[in-house]
Amino acid sequence: MAQQRTLVLIKPDAVRRGLVGEVLARLERKGLVIEQLRMRTMDAPLADAHYAEHVGREYYEGLKTFMTSGPLVSLVVSGDEAIPVVRKLAGATDGRKAEPGTIRGDLSVSNQQNLIHASDAEESAKREIDLWFAA
Ligand code: CDP
Ligand code: MG
């Protein structure tokens, strides 16, 4: 038993498509706990900080345009091994390749507009929670 907290973003495509409830329901039905929840629109500096390791990649400008294109929902989610558990619920990055049964595999056919962000390790979870939910 290792309780973890992870940062989840329900991305602007999910908000536009009316899938916020669907994504929240999947997290809740799994047994995870939604500790914090906020709707906001990412600005360019927050995008650069959140996706620091991606700045400069060939897809980054498109990713930033997408992520700042409208409101998203940020969450802190907790539970036993919540970091890998949420990554598994999200599925592979590319919705066309993600397994059916996952959020991306069931609901996305895009490598960019893939509905959800989830922290990938304890260190990134801490960094991202601080970034999005600083006191
Ligand atoms: O989100 P995840 O950790 O699964 O993937 P990533 O490789 O860390 O990439 C972060 C985000 O960048 C993805 O979720 C996509 O939205 C976007 N991306 C993209 O637009 N084009 C790519 N070739 C790869 C990723
Ligand atoms: Mg990632």
- Determine whether 117 is an active site residue: yes
26 marked ligand binding residue: no
pLDDT band at 1; cut points 50, 70, 90: confident
**What span, in angstroms and rounded, lies between the C-alpha atoms of 118 and 128?**
10
Looking at the CA of residue 93, tell me the nearest atom of ligand 1.
4
pLDDT at 135 over 80: no
Q: Which residues' Cβ are closer than 6 Å to ligand 1?
A: 54, 59, 62-63, 93, 111-112, 114, 117, 120
pLDDT in tens, 54-82: 999 999 999 999 999 999 999 999 999 99
Q: Where are the domains of the chain?
A: 3-132
CATH topology of domain 3-132: Alpha-Beta Plaits (3.30.70)
Output the average pLDDT for the chain.
98
pLDDT in tens, 94-110: 999 999 999 999 999 99
